[in-house]
Amino acid sequence: MSSDTLRGRILAAGQRITPQRDLIAGVLERAGRPLAAQELCDAVGQEDPGIGRATVFRTLQSLQEAGIVQNVTLLGNQAGYLLCASAGHHHHLVCRHCGAIEDLPEAEVAPFLSGVEAAHGFGVDHATFNIYGACRACAGEEHAGR
């Protein structure tokens, strides 16, 4: 069960299991796409109105430290919180039509970064990418649809 995995990852990060964390991680997991702060707070409040705003943000912080949640920048510079299955450093392709997310493994960007380092004499030590467009499904529809 994936709940086991989630809990395992929380524990592995030296953090405690609490009902709040369970619930919040669950909301993100079921969403399957990045949620804005507002959306997340609403969804959490709907499942348990007792959970305070501060706890939501603290939990996001914890889950990020545990490598379970990633912060992505949505269109319009809005912050989105995304539950990630893969734990290591990786990036995301954001479909601007359906909101779906596709992982972009670090291995795929490493050669590009090496090229930049070589060309500019710049030692890259951290990089994030915000890549927006149409996922395969949506690109197909758009092409066929009109």
Query: Rule CB under 5 A: which residues touch Mn ion?
Result: 84, 103
Start-end of H helices in 19-98: 19-31, 37-47, 53-65
Question: C-alpha distances in angstroms, 11 versus 24, 51, 65, 92?
Answer: 16, 21, 12, 25
Return the structure tokens found at 47: 């499942």
By beta-carbon proximity to Mn ion, the closer residue of 42 and 103 is 103
For residues 28-61, one letter each, b for 16 or more C-beta atoms within 10 angstroms of the residue's C-beta and e for the rest, the string is: beebebbbeeeebbebbeeeeeebeeebbeebbe
Q: Which of 9, 104, 106, 141 binds its own copies (CB under 8 A)?
A: 104
Residue closer to its own copies by CB (options 49, 145) is 145
List the single partner that 16 binds among its own copies, Mn ion, DNA, none, CB under 5 to 8 Å by kind: DNA
Q: Which stretch binds Zn ion (CB under 5 A): 21-29, 35-43, 115-123, 131-139?
A: 131-139
Across the beta sheet with 78-83, the strand order is 35-36, 78-83, 69-74
72-91: contacts with DNA (CB under 7 A): 79
Pairing outcome for strands 90-95 and 101-105? antiparallel
Instruction: Decide: is 136 part of the binding site for its own copies (CB under 8 A).
Output: yes
Contact partner at residue 30 from its own copies, Mn ion, DNA, none, CB < 5 to 8 Å by partner kind: none
Q: Residue 88: name the closest of 74, 73, 108 by CA.
A: 108
Q: Does 19 bind DNA (CB under 7 A)?
A: yes
Site for its own copies in 108-127 (CB under 8 A): 108-109, 112-113, 115-116, 119-127
* Interacting residues with DNA (CB under 7 A): 11, 15-21, 36-38, 41, 50-55, 57-59, 61-62, 79
* Interacting residues with Zn ion (CB under 5 A): 95, 97-98, 100, 135, 138
